[in-house]
Structure 1
Amino acid sequence: MNNPDTHAQNESLLDITDEERLALVEERIEAKFLDYDGYDFSRRQNIALNIFFELSQEMRGREMFYAVCMAIPHALFGLESTMYILEDEETFALAACSSGKCDKESVLPWSDVMNHRLTIKGENMHIPIRGNPEFNDMLAFEPPHNVLGCFVMRPCSGLPGHIRLFLEKYVNRVGYQLHHRIIRARNREHIAFIKSMVQDIGHNVIVPNMYFKLYFNRLKRKIEELHLTTTSILTGMNKNANPDQIREGNRLAQIVGGIEAQYQEIYSHYESTSMFLETLLRRQHFEEGRYVLDKRDVNLRTTVVDPVVERFRHRFEERNIRLSLAHECAEDHVIRLTLDRGLIAQVLDNILSNALKYTEKMPVKGGGKEQRVSYGWKIIDDFFGPNKPGIRLWVASTGNPLDLKEPLEVFKPGFRAKNVASRPGTGHGLYFVRQVVELHGGKVSYAHTEEGNVFSFVLPFEHS
C-alpha cells in the first residue's frame, strides 16, 4: 500500500530550495552505495542488473519485456520463470512463461503463495512484483499492498540466501519498470480515446450546434413578421378602434417588444457559448496536449470586451452590483491587436464571473455601502521592453483583500483564498486565465487598491 509518510515527505520536498534538493539526493546516493556494499553482489550479478535496465529500455512490447525479465534469472542461475500480473484487485493473470510450453493456471487468486511476501513452497519461489507507490494513482485500480503481480522461479529450494536476496532486489527493479510500462500503455490508450472523442465532439456537438444559428435566423424572421403585423393592426385600430382595443393593441406591441429583447439576450448567450465551445474544444488543443492559439487581428472593444460585458450586465443588475466602464476609457476608442479572440474572451469571462461571485458591499463617500465593479483598458508604453507596448485590461470589484502569501498565489491551480473558501468555486478559473495570458506572452496580476480587488492582465500590443 501507499506509505502516507513517504507521500507527505515527497509533498514537502516541493517547497525546498534547489541546493537542499540536491543535498537530499546526494544523501540518498550515499545510502544506496552503503546498501549495495551490504548486498555484496558478484560482479556478474551487478552487470546483470545493468543489462536488464538497458534491455528493458531497448525492447518494445510487453511480451519482449517479459522475455527480458525471465532471461536474466535463467542466464545467471538456470532458473525457469513464470510471471503473473494483477488484472484487478483480486485476480492474478498468467502473463508469460520461460519454458516453451506453459501448463500453468491462467488465473490465480490471492493465496498463501500469491501474496505480498516472498514465499517458497517446494521448488517454487514466489516473489511479489511491487510498483512505485508514488504513481499508483495513475493505474486503473489501487494495487493491494502495492503489488502488481508475482514472479515465480524454480528450482529454488536449495538456493543460498544471498542469491535469494539478489533475486528479490532484481524483481523490485522489474516491478518499477513494469509499473512505468503499464502507465505508458494507459497513456497511449488515453491519447487514442481523446483523439476519438475529439472526432465525436466535432460530429455530435459542434456541427449540431451550428444548426441552432439556422433556427435563430428563422425565429428572427418570424419576430420581424410579428412586428410588421402588430404595426399594421395598431395603425388600423388607431382609426376605428375604441379605447379598450387600443389599450390591448399597445399591450400586444409591448409583448412583441419583450419577445424581441428576450430573443436578443438568448442569441447573445448562444453566440458566446458557441465561440467558447469551438475555442475550448478546438482539435489542435487535444492533438498537441496544450492550448494552441488561433491569433487574428481584432477590435479589442467591439469583438472581445463589449460582448462579454453585455452578457454579464443583467446578472450584475440582478445582484444590485453597479457595473461601469472606467472614466478614462472612451467607448469609441478603437484598439486593434492580434490575439486568440475566443480564449481571451474566456479569460475576461472568468474574471467577471469571479467579480459577480465575490463582490461585497463597501462604504462609499457620503455614507452608506455599495457593490461596484469597474473595468477598462490602458496602453502601457515599453511594458515588454523598448518600443514594445502592452495593453492592460482590468476588472476591479469592491470587497476585502484576499488572504494571500504573495499576489500571484491566486493564479495557482486549485487555489482558494481562506477568506472566500466557503463560496462556490473550483480554483481553476484564474489558473486558466494565467495559462492563456502567458501563452500570449502576457502577464497577470492581482492587487488590492482603493477600488477594491483588481485582477488584470497585460498583452503584447501586437499587430498583424
Structure 2
Amino acid sequence: MLNDPMKEVFERVRSKKESYQRYNFERLKEEAFATFFDLAQEIIGVEILYQIIVAVPKEFFDYESRLYVIDFKTSRLTKVCGTEQGLIPPAQRIPQDFPISDTPYELNESILFPIRGNEALTKSVPFLLQLPVLGFLEIYPRQKVDERDRFFMEKYANRIGYNLHQKMLIQQNIDHIRFTNQLVADIEHNVISPNLYYKLFLIRLKRLLSEYRQAQERLRDAIVSIQGSTGPLYSELCQIHQLVFQGNESLEEEWKALSKHFEHTSLFLETLLRRDHFEKGTYVLRKQTCNFRTEIIQPLLERYQRLFDKRGIVVDNRIENVPDEQVTLFVDKGLISQVFDNFFSNAVKYTQEVEDQLGNRIKLVSYNRQILRDFFGEGIHGVRFNFFTTGKPLSQEDAKRLFEEGFRASLSAGQKGSGHGLHFVRNVVEIHGGKVGCEPQPYGNLVYFTLPMKEQDTAYKMG
C-alpha cells in the first residue's frame, strides 16, 4: 500500500498523463518537445540554450522567432537571439519596451508567448518585476500559426521557462561564486593584511609606554636626590611626578584594552572571513588545543562585565556544586569563541529581573559546565556548557525552534535581532560533532551546547 507522499506523487503523474492525452499532439510536435528536452539537458551554458530555443521551431515548423529575456541587472527585456540574426553578443543587446504580460498576445505581425519560470524558484531570482515572467518568445509571421499550433507554442514556451530558469540560476550561482572569490581576495588584501599593522602599532605603543615609565623613574630619582628641600621647585616636581604617574597608569590601562580588543577582533576576522569557508561552502575547522576558561570565557567576560554591571545583571559561574576548574578541548578556537560570544550577547539583551521562591528580586546570568559520561556513545563523554538567564520562561514550542534560522521567540519583541545568532551557534556546534538545546525553567531559560570529548581530542582527564 502506497504511503501518503507517494500517493500524492502518483496523482500528479496521473494528472500530467491525462493532460497530454487531452493535448493529443501529433508526432512532429512530440518530436519537437523531445528534441528540445534532450538538447537542453545536454548543455549547461545559457547562451547555447538561447540558440536551441529559436532553432527548434524553425527546424520543425519553419517559424521565424526572436527570444527576449529579462536582464538581471536592469530588470528589462533584452533581445538575445533570433533565427535571422543569430546569437546577439551581450554588448549589443538593447532593452525592449513592448508590453509585459503573462498571457500570449499579438503585436504587429508577431505572436509573443510569455516564458514563465518555475514558480517554486521564482523567489530565488532577484527580478524586480512582479510577474513571474523570465522573457518572451516571439513567433512570426503570425499568419502561419493556427489555433492548434498556438496552443502547442504556448506549452513549448512553458517548457522553455523551466529549463531557462534553471540555467539562469546556475549562471547566477557561478557569477556569485566568482564574485565571492574576488571578495575574499579583496578582504585578505584590504582587511586581514592591514589589520596586522595594528599589531605593529601596539608593539610601538608598548615601547613608548616603557620609555615613559623610565622617564617617570628618572624623575622620581631626581626628586629623591633633592628630598628635604623646602623651595617651590621640589613641590612642583612632586606634583609633576604624580601627574606623570597617573598618566602612565591610564595609558597602560588603555593599551591593555586596545590589545584585548585587537586580539578579539583579529580572531573573529580570521575566523569568519577565512578563505576555506568560501571555497568549501561551509565552515572549515582549524582545530587547536584550547583552554576554555582562560582563552575564551574570561576574555569575553571582561568585555561584557561592564554591560552586565550597567544593566544590573549579576554573573554567577559557581552554581550547582560545579567546581571552578579548567577544561581544555581540541576545537576551532575562533568559531567556539563566537558561540560563547552569542550567549553572552543574548544574556545582556534578554536577562530580566524575577522574584524567587523566597521573595528575593534577582537578575542574573550563570554559566557552568558538566561532564556527561558516554553521552555520545560508549567511551565518548560529552562536555556540556550551560548558560542560564533569569526572565520569563519560553514556551516549549519556542524552545524547540530557538536554534532555527530566522526564528525569534515571542519574548524577544522589542529587542533588535535577526534570529541568526543561535542558528550560527547550532551550525558551529554540530560541525564539531556536538548538540545544542534549550530548557525553559521556573525562573528563566537554560541554553546549552555539548561537545564530544574524545580521548585523542582533549587534554582533560576524567577523574
TM range (shorter): 0.7 to 0.9
1:421–1:74: structure 2 CA closer, same or farther, 3 Å change rule? Answer: same
Aligned to 2:185: 199
**Match of residue 27, structure 1, among 11, 25, 36:** 11
The CA deviation at 1:411 is: 0.5
Give the match for residue 227 of structure 1.
Answer: 213
The Cα shift of 1:111 comes to 3.2
1:102 deviates by: 9.0
Match of 1:447 in 2: 439
Give, as a single letter, the amino acid of the residue that structure 2 aligns with 1:172. N
Taking a change above 3 Å as real, the CA distance of residues 432 and 320 of structure 1, as seen in their structure-2 partners, is same
Q: Distance in 2 between matches of 1:75 and 1:102?
A: 16
Alignment of 1:24-423 (within 5 A): 24-87=8-71, 91-99=76-84, 107=94, 109-111=96-98, 115-121=101-107, 123-234=109-220, 236-237=222-223, 239-240=227-228, 246=238, 249-250=241-242, 252-327=244-319, 328-331=321-324, 333-364=325-356, 367-405=359-397, 407-423=399-415
- CA RMSD, Structure 1 to Structure 2 (Å): 2.7
Q: Percent identity?
A: 35
Q: Report the AA paired with residue 20 of structure 2.
A: Y
Does the aligned pair in 1 maintain the 2:51–2:87 contact within 8 Å? no
Cα distance change of structure 1 residues 197 and 50 upon mapping to structure 2, 3 Å threshold: same
Measured in 2, the distance between the counterparts of 1:68 and 1:390 equals 58
Output the amino acid matched with 1:394.
N
Gaps of 5+ in 1: 1-17
Q: CA deviation at 1:100?
A: 6.2
Cα offsets for 1:398-444 (capped at 9, x unmatched):
11112451533110111111122211111111000000000100000
2:396, 2:440 within 8 Å by CA — same for their partners in 1? no
Change (3 A) 1:248 1:400: farther
Aligned equivalent of 1:13: none
CA contact (8 A) 1:122 1:157 kept: no
What secondary structure, in the 3-state scheme, does the structure 2 residue paired with 1:145 have?
Answer: coil
- Alignment partners' CA distance in 2, 1:282 and 1:182: 29
Q: 1:209 to 1:418 in 2, by over 3 A?
A: same
Deviation (angstroms), 1:108:
6.0
Find the partner of 1:432 among 405, 424, 435: 424
Contact 1:90 1:110 in 2 (8 A): no
- Please give the alpha-carbon distance, in whole angstroms, between the structure 1 residues aligned to 2:122 and 2:432: 35
Shift of 1:292: 0.7
Q: Distance in 2 between matches of 1:229 and 1:121?
A: 89
In the TM superposition, what is the alpha-carbon distance from 1:247 to its structure 2 partner?
Answer: 6.0
Structure 2: which 5+ residue stretches go unaligned?
Answer: 458-463
In the aligned structure 2, how far is the partner of 1:63 from the partner of 1:205? 37
SS at match of 2:363: strand
Separation in 2 of the partners of 1:448 and 1:102? 62
The answer to whether the 8 A contact 2:65-2:137 is kept is: yes
Q: 1:249 Cα shift?
A: 3.8
d(CA) in 2 for partners of 1:108, 1:426: 38
Q: Cα distance 1:403–1:450, how it changes in 2: closer, same or farther (>3 A)?
A: closer
Please report how far the alpha carbon of residue 368 of structure 1 lies from its aligned counterpart in structure 2 after TM superposition: 4.0
What is the alpha-carbon distance in structure 2 between the residues aligned to residue 134 and residue 299 of structure 1? 47
Give the number of equivalent residue pairs.
444
Counterpart-to-counterpart distance in 1, 2:211 and 2:95: 75
